[in-house]
Chains A and B, each alone.
Chain A
Amino acid sequence: MKIEIIGSGIVGLSCASFFAEKNCGVTIISSSNGPDENCCSWWAGGMLAPWCEMESAEPLIGELGQESMRFWQKFTSSYQNKGTLVVATSRDLPDLKRFGRRTKNWQQVKQDQIATLEPDLADRFTTGLYYPEEAHFDPRQVLPELVNHLKNKGVKFCPNTSFSKQVLDAPTKADHRIDCRGLAAQDHLKELRGVKGEMLLIKSNEINLSRPVRLLHPRIPLYIVPRDNGLFMVGATMIENESRSGATVRSVLELLSAAYALHPAFGEAEIIEIGVDARPAFPDNLPRIIHKEKTTYLNGMYRHGYLAAPAMAKRLVEQVLGLSTTTKQSNEPAVSTGNI
C-alpha cells in the first residue's frame, strides 16, 4: 500500500514509522526542509510527563502518554528516565498540594531528598513532588534520529515542496494520504486553533539539573528541562493567540524571573534562543483522527506532541489499514469520521 504523508513534524514522522513497520511504501512531503524551526516539534520541551500533565489534561492524555513512552524508550538513545521534580515557593505551597491531589504516581520529597535528587536545589525548597517514572529527551536529537531511522526503512522524503489547497483537494496518486500539517491544516479542519507558546534556551555552567523541574505558580507555571552542554530549555507560555512569531517582553520577563526564582544563578545564564510557535489544538485540547475519503487527518496535539503522537499514530495506522478490531476503547473520543 502506498502512503503519502504531508508534514514532517513529530506527527508525520510517527505515522511514517508505523506505516513502514507494516511494509507500506511511505513518502513524506513537507513544505519545510525536514523537521526544523518551522514546526512545533522543534520548539518542544521534550518532557514525557503523563502523570504531571494530568493536573489539567484529560485522562486520555495519560493513557496515550504512557503508551508513547514505551515507544520512545525503545526508539531513542537520548531517552532519560530520571523522573520529574515539582516544587513551589513557600507562598505557593497550596498549589503544590492541589497538584498532588490532581495527579498520581508521585512521592513527596523533603528538603534532604530534594538535595539528593538535585544537589543544586538544596536548601531552596522545603518540599516537593517527585514523579519517578517520567522521562525526558532533547527533541532536536530525536527528530534527526527518527528521520535517519525512517530513511533506513526506505521512507522517501520530499522536503521544500509547497502545496496549495487546490493540490490538497485533488485526489492523491497514493492509495491513502495522511495529513499531518499541524496548524496549517486549518484550511481543512475548521475547528483547529493555535495556542501560542514561547520558550527560551539558556546556557549556564553554574547549575546542573538531572531532570525536568517544574516550578508551580498561580499565573506563571514554569518548567526547565536540562539538555547537553549546560543548555536549559525554559518553557512555556500558553496564550490563546495564533501568532507564530514575536515573543513579547512580558512573556520573556515572566519566564526568566520564574527561572531566577528557581535558582538565582540563572541570572547569570546566557540567553541562547527565544522561540515562538503556535500549537495546533481542537476545542477540547485532545488529538483527533479524522477520516475523509482517501485522506486521514491526525491533528490537535496541543502541548502533547511527543506524549501523544506515537500512540495516536499507531491507532491511525490500524484504522487506515483496516486492522483495528476494537472500536469501543478509551481512545474513542479522539477518533471521528468526517466530522471536520
Chain B
Amino acid sequence: MTIKLYDDEITSRFLIGTALYPSPAIMLEAIKASRAEIVTVSLRRESGSEQAGQNFWSFIKDSGAKVLPNTAGCKSVKEAVTTAHMAREIFETPWVKLEVIGEDDSLQPDVFGLVEAARILTEDGFQVFPYTTEDLVVAEKLITAGCEILMPWGAPIGSGRGLNNIYGLRSLRAHFPDIPLIVDAGIGLPSHAAAAMELGYDAVLLNTAVAKAGDPVLMAKAFALAIQSGQQCYQADPIEKRDMAAPSTPVAGLPFWNQDHA
C-alpha cells in the first residue's frame, strides 16, 4: 500500500535521517537496510559559502533514495526560508522538511514561525513537510498555509523517549483522517515506531535512534520490521482492549455466558 506525499507515491513507511553516523559507508548501509525511499538531509551545517559539502551529498544521492532536505537548526523564518531555497537549488526538489526551532536545548519547534515560513514557502511553490507539535490548532493553521502533510513530534529531537503524548497524537489522527501524518523525532526504540503506526500514522521519520545505535545497520533493520509490523497491525484492525477488572461474580453451576441473565 502506498501513501501519497504531494505528487509522489511512496511505499516504505520509514523515512531516515543522514546525520550522526560513524561514517558515510555505515550510513549508506543503514539506509539500504532500512529500505527507506526517502532520506532527510540537513543543509545548514554542511553548506558553507562554497558548497563545500558536495562530496557528502554525493553519498546521499548515491543511496538512490529521494532526498527530503531539512532546515535543521534554523531559528527564524528568514533563515528557514533561505535554507529551503538553497536546498531546492542543490537537490532540485520542491520538497522541504521545515524546521523552525524555538528553543535551543529541547529543539522544540517555534510553531508561530513555522506557520509563517510554511505560508511563504508554499506560495513560492515548495512542498512543505512541517516539523510541528501535536497541537490541533497549529495543525489546522499549517494546512491553511498550504501544507498537505503534517509531521508531529513523538518527543523532543534526539531524546529517544518515544510517544510522549499518545492522546494528543490520537486526536490529531482523528481530526485529520485524510492528511498524511508522519511522526518525526523523539523515537528511541522500534516499539515506539510500531506504536506510532498502530495509532494509524502513515509513516515514521527518525535519525538518532539508528545512527547512534551500537550497530546502526542492524538497528535500521529492526526499525524497518517494527514499522511494517505496526502498519500491518493498523490495517488488520486490532481487537479492542477489554477491562477484565470489571466486577462480575461467577455463579457456580451457571454457564459464564448466562451470568447476566441469572
Contact = CB atoms under 8 A, between A and B. Distances in A.
A193 B214 contact: no
B50 interface: yes
Contacts of A242: 52-55
B47 interface: yes
A149 interface: no
A250 B44 CA distance: 11
B26 interface: yes
A241 B47 contact: yes
Given A102-B214, A240-B46, A285 B23 contact: yes
A56 B23 CA distance: 9
A194 B52 contact: yes
Q: Is chain B's binding surface mostly helix, strand, loop or mixed?
A: loop
Nearest to B60: A240
Contacts of B73: 250
Nearest to A193: B55
Interface in B78-104: none
B56 interface: yes
Contacts, number: 57
A322 interface: no
Nearest to B21: A56
Contacts of A239: 45-46
Nearest to A58: B22
A103 to B, nearest CB: 11
Interface residues on A, range: 20 to 34
B25 A241 contact: no
With most chain B CB atoms within 10 A of its CB, the pick from A240, A246, A284 is: A240
A57 B53 contact: no
A196 B73 CA distance: 18
A81 B49 CA distance: 41
B102 to A, nearest CB: 16
Interface string A103-140: 00000000000000000000000000000000000000
B22 A56 contact: yes
B237 to A, nearest CB: 37
A47 to B, nearest CB: 18
B25 to A, nearest CB: 4
With most chain B CB atoms within 10 A of its CB, the pick from A102, A218, A286 is: A218
Contacts of B214: 101-102
A246 B52 CA distance: 12
Interface in A268-304: 281, 283-286
Contact of B59 (A218, A246, A283): A283
A194 B45 CA distance: 14
Interface string A36-77: 000000000000000000001110000000000000000000
Nearest to B19: A240
A193 B214 CA distance: 24
B253 interface: no
Contacts of B52: 194, 196, 241-243
Contacts of A101: 214
A225 to B, nearest CB: 22
B24 interface: yes
A173 interface: no
B145 to A, nearest CB: 28
Contact of B53 (A58, A241, A285): A241
Contacts of A283: 23-25, 28, 59
Interface string A219-247: 10000000000000000000111110010
A247 to B, nearest CB: 11
Contacts of B212: 98
A292 to B, nearest CB: 21
Interface string B147-178: 00000000000100000000000000000000
Contacts of A284: 23-26
Given A56-B22, A283-B23, A240 B56 contact: yes
With most chain A CB atoms within 10 A of its CB, the pick from B23, B46, B212 is: B23
Given A56-B22, A219-B158, A284-B23, A243 B56 contact: no
A241 B46 contact: yes
Contacts of A243: 48-50, 52
Nearest to A257: B104
Nearest to B59: A283
A116 B164 CA distance: 41
A56 B26 CA distance: 11
Contacts of A193: 24, 55-56
Interface in A156-194: 193-194
Interface string B94-117: 000000000000000000000000
A239 B56 CA distance: 10
Contacts of B45: 239-241
Contacts of A281: 23
A40 to B, nearest CB: 16
Interface of B: 22-26, 28, 45-50, 52-56, 59, 73, 158, 208, 212, 214
25 contacts: A58-B22, A98-B212, A193-B24, A194-B52, A194-B55, A196-B48, A196-B52, A218-B208, A240-B24, A240-B45, A240-B55, A240-B56, A241-B46, A241-B47, A241-B53, A242-B52, A243-B49, A243-B52, A283-B24, A283-B28, A284-B24, A284-B25, A285-B23, A285-B24, A285-B25
**Which 5 residue pairs spanning A and B have beta carbons closest together?**
A240-B56, A285-B23, A284-B25, A193-B55, A243-B52
Given A284-B23, A284-B24, 10 more contacts: A57-B22, A193-B24, A193-B56, A240-B53, A241-B53, A242-B53, A243-B49, A243-B50, A283-B28, A285-B22
